[in-house]
Amino acid sequence: MPQSSLTLGYVPGGTPAKWARIWAERHPATPLTLQPVDAADAAEAVRTGAVDLAVLRLPIDTTGLATIALYDEVTVAVVPVDHVLTAAEELTAADLEGEPVLRPIDDVVTWTAGATVQHRPETTQGATELVAAGMGVLIVPQSLARLHHRKDLTYRRIGDAPTCAVALAFPDGPQSELVEEFIGIVRGRKSSSSRGQAAPAPKRSAREKTMAKQAARAAAGKVASIPGKPKRGRR
């Protein structure tokens, strides 16, 4: 039985909206469900079939998966708005030296700086609340800083920190037509080149039609004016 719908998982801070919009325009009769998944569970959700594809962060265990690189996120430090680190527009690892840094259990940044706080909150959101309480600095991808934004917090880019890679993951091996179609959208395939679809002939404007008629008449006039063999007169 052909697959009748598609489920796309995405980790916190993931941004699948652009591809979902394109999908809805091209396949209005085929539902695309956006399913939030925890960063730690995203890869397994694809492997078990809980979702057909997932927007997730690397590095992860990609056993049994194929991935397509999507974009790289800037790494930032989340701090209270009145913190001394806000004096700079951009930070470096050296600026964080001696600063207490919170590392939640669901941390997605493998790079470390500063002095790691022994207590590890369960979630990034929980760590954000501790930052607001003055317990330390939080290092996250920029999208997570925006996701957990608070009026009493801000963030600064860490210039010498590695970026956080975001990728589309799907089961390795042959894919269904719908999964292939979604992969094509992510890779930038135009609607006219979608599988099984032919590009429609472009419609001409009224002006273009008029110009075409005039050109045809002019061409006919030139043909009529070409001299042929002289006709024989009557004897």
Q: Is 21 helix (H, G, I), strand (E, B) or coil?
A: helix
Query: Contact, 46 vs 9, CB < 8 A?
Result: yes
Q: Which pLDDT score, from 0 to 100, does residue 189 have?
A: 85
Upper half-sphere CA count for residue 61 (Cβ side, 13 Å) = 9
Burial class (CB in 10 A: 0-12, 13-18, 19+), 172: middle
Domain 6-71+165-193 CATH class label: alpha beta
Domain 75-162 CATH class label: alpha beta
Full-model pTM: 0.75
Domain pair 6-71+165-193 / 75-162, same fold: yes
| Closest by CA position to 138, among listed 162, 152, 118, 117 | 117
**235 residues of the chain, pLDDT tens digit each:** 557 889 999 999 998 999 999 999 999 999 999 999 999 999 999 999 999 999 999 999 999 999 999 999 999 999 999 999 999 999 999 999 999 999 999 999 989 999 999 999 999 999 999 999 999 999 999 999 999 999 999 999 999 999 999 999 999 999 999 999 999 999 988 875 544 443 344 455 566 556 656 655 655 554 444 455 455 544 4
Domain boundaries, the chain: 6-71+165-193, 75-162
